[in-house]
Structure 1
Amino acid sequence: MITWERLRVFAAVARLGSVGEAAAVLHITGPAVSQHLRKLEKEVQCRLVERDGRGIRLTSAGHILATSAQTMVTTLDDAERDLANLHGLVAGPLRIGGVASALRALVPPVLSSLITRHPRLEPSLRDGEAVDMIPMLQARQLDAVVTESWTHRPAHMPPGIRITRLIYEDAQLAVPAGHPLADREFVALSDLHGEYWTSCPEGSDAHEALLQLLRAHETEAEVRYCVSDYSTQLHLVAAGLAVTLVPRMVRESSPPGVCFVPCRPTVTRSVVVATAADAETPSVRAFMAEMIRIAYRSEPSCLTPHAPRKSASDERALAAEAGPATDAPPDPPAGTVHPPLGTDPAPAPSPED
């Protein structure tokens, strides 16, 4: 007899393409995942997965069952959230996605605090690019996406998705020690002809922002190394292979041999959270309230909240908002961008921006 737990495990493996990643998301061991798969294959009397390098791939039968399994997982998760919402509970699955550099500074302390306050909450986390994760948010496969928005390439969301800006930071040019630009007080973007670049993968917000920024200053970026991890980019810079543009928070993990030079004009990145306008559960509201609280308390030398720093009484009020009966701050209409916290609303960017 096929059990619900085995279908949930199989759906996670099918979605992630890895036993290890599925185990991490489900908070069980890799051998336990493999055991569930073997038992499920025995129950359905056919092979569902095959080895594919370090990961797995679905067989024809696996693809058929994966579609039904994912539908069942989504249906049950929705039912759990609806019941929790009915009683105002912060409980059940909370699925967070985002770009790694935006997740690093804020999300770990947020989830730690939420789990302590709400033991019945079941958060999961995965990193990737916004171009892949926003469709998952629309399909209700994720509850929130922590991503980025650049000053010269603002984030534009599809209808039904709203974003909340949390913090902003300047981005700087990273060059190898000994590079002709390393000792500059600042570097003009128009002076970057002929450099080899490392950047996030093609199609990512950071990659497209870099290309658009340099083209606006009549410079073409020759991107030779596309890697999603800023730390790897900085190691490529330290090796003298390329230059790159990185947000300030990334500097803390920089290897020796890298110099950072401010850009003129200044380049700024915002960290934002995208949520579905019609799917705000108590768990999502608690997550947003805690993200705002942590953003206000962030180290000013690294991150700057989108609002003046708050007094102790204001911070206590924000902490209270993350409790079981909290509501997030009011939101503008779906598809618009929230203004910086504590400021007057600004017009939403036009589609031509």
Structure 2
Amino acid sequence: MIDLRRLHVLRAVAHYGTVTAAARALHFTPSAASQQIRQLARDLDVDLLEPQGRGVRLTPAAESLLAHADAIQARWEQAELDLRAGHGEPAGPLRAGGLAVAVSALLAPMAARLRERHRRLSVSIQETGVPESFDLLFEGEIDLAVVEATPHNPPMSDTRYDQQPLLDDPFDLVVPADHPLADRDRVNLGDAAHEDWIAPFADSPCRTHVMAACGAAGFTPGVVHHARDWNVTAHLVAHGLGVALIPRLAQLTPNLPITRVRCAGDPHRKLLTCTRRGAGERPAIEAALRELRDLARTAAA
């Protein structure tokens, strides 16, 4: 009989990439995590890890076992749903996470609607980065996340997660109110090729979108200033220190002397909802996804 606790340790090693990182996430010592995997290997009479440089990698047997482990996790989610089938009203705790813009524009109004419509449902929200959201879902610390699609996300085929498109969030060129481009209805980004630029830091998912949009317009932006928060970016623009691409969902400080101008070609980022595979049919999560889709339609309009 496979010990599911030991199987969970192996899943964590596959998810985090190293035994040490998996142990940290599971609140184990590295030696305790290694012992769990060694015991699982003895129980199954197969090798699960093999040396690779200074680290380890999963063996083919471990990869095969993980495919079953992910299916088992999804079945557990389905089992919980079946047990609650007689209680169709959304109830209990619902934990959601997402990037800052998603919290402000989508998750906060979602929570307010759910609180009004489902008195037995308790919603908690936290701001999370994209990689962190997947980690928290994997660990069972959150039930639902709104994430930005990036090249570094798990693939859509990853059987641990159910990722669904939610909203295309266009980028606007934001310029000082007295800028020559401010009076245009739509601007070609190439017209801002020689401007000073304000951009997200290199570790921000939006950095990729900004650089790709400018690259598609035929130039590399001359980035002079960096910011993590869209309102910080907007204040830098307001002081005439450069121009920036800012997502339309970002709610900026009112009355700043700036203008948002739509961009030709409509560069945008994609926002996704993500749950653990099999969890999306839980009444609480189903209600949350329904509200999010409705809010996304309103935002797109």
Instruction: Please indicate, yes or no, whether the TM-score normalized by the shorter chain is above 0.5.
Output: yes
For 1:255 and 1:85, the matched residues in 2 are separated by 52
> 1:216 maps to which residue?
216
Q: State the Cα distance separating 1:100 from its structure 2 match.
A: 1.3
2:83 matches 1:86 = yes
- Could you state the TM-score of these two structures normalised by the residue count of structure 2? 0.63
For 2:185 and 2:296, the matched residues in 1 are separated by 29
Matched residue SS, 2:135:
helix
For 2:165 and 2:24, the matched residues in 1 are separated by 40
Contact 1:102 / 1:148 at 8 angstroms: preserved in 2?
no
2:280 matches 1:282 = no
Q: Deviations over 1:309-346 (max 9, x none)?
A: xxxxxxxxxxxxxxxxxxxxxxxxxxxxxxxxxxxxxx
> 1:46 maps to which residue?
none
Contact 2:107 / 2:125 at 8 angstroms: preserved in 1?
no
- 1:80–1:183 CA distance, 2 compared to 1 (3 A): closer
- 1:222–1:250 CA distance, 2 compared to 1 (3 A): same
Contact 1:187 / 1:261 at 8 angstroms: preserved in 2?
yes
For 1:94 and 1:226, the matched residues in 2 are separated by 35
For 2:274 and 2:259, the matched residues in 1 are separated by 33
Contact 1:94 / 1:122 at 8 angstroms: preserved in 2?
yes
> 1:266 maps to which residue?
266
Matched residue SS, 1:266:
coil
Partner amino acid, structure 2, of 1:295? A
Q: State the Cα distance separating 1:246 from its structure 2 match.
A: 1.5
> 1:148 maps to which residue?
148
For 1:127 and 1:235, the matched residues in 2 are separated by 22
- Could you state the TM-score of these two structures normalised by the residue count of structure 1? 0.55
Matched residue SS, 1:249:
coil
2:194 matches 1:194 = yes
Q: State the Cα distance separating 1:191 from its structure 2 match.
A: 2.8
Partner amino acid, structure 2, of 1:211? M
Q: Deviations over 1:167-197 (max 9, x none)?
A: 3343210011222322334322223323332
- 1:98–1:64 CA distance, 2 compared to 1 (3 A): closer
> 1:293 maps to which residue?
294
Contact 1:192 / 1:219 at 8 angstroms: preserved in 2?
no
> 2:244 maps to which residue?
244
> 1:21 maps to which residue?
none
For 2:234 and 2:137, the matched residues in 1 are separated by 31
- 1:244–1:225 CA distance, 2 compared to 1 (3 A): same
Q: State the Cα distance separating 1:245 from its structure 2 match.
A: 0.9
Partner amino acid, structure 1, of 2:300? T
Q: Deviations over 1:3-60 (max 9, x none)?
A: xxxxxxxxxxxxxxxxxxxxxxxxxxxxxxxxxxxxxxxxxxxxxxxxxxxxxxxxxx
> 1:107 maps to which residue?
107
Contact 2:77 / 2:278 at 8 angstroms: preserved in 1?
no
Unaligned runs of 5+ in 2: 1-22, 29-75
For 1:170 and 1:205, the matched residues in 2 are separated by 14
> What is the CA RMSD across the aligned residues, in angstroms?
3.2
> 1:184 maps to which residue?
184
2:300 matches 1:304 = yes
Contact 1:94 / 1:121 at 8 angstroms: preserved in 2?
yes
Matched residue SS, 2:289:
helix
Partner amino acid, structure 1, of 2:83? L
Matched residue SS, 1:250:
coil
For 1:109 and 1:85, the matched residues in 2 are separated by 29
For 1:100 and 1:180, the matched residues in 2 are separated by 31
For 2:206 and 2:24, the matched residues in 1 are separated by 36
Unaligned runs of 5+ in 1: 1-62, 69-78, 306-353
- 1:184–1:132 CA distance, 2 compared to 1 (3 A): same
Matched residue SS, 1:126:
strand
Contact 2:188 / 2:217 at 8 angstroms: preserved in 1?
no
Q: State the Cα distance separating 1:155 from its structure 2 match.
A: 8.5
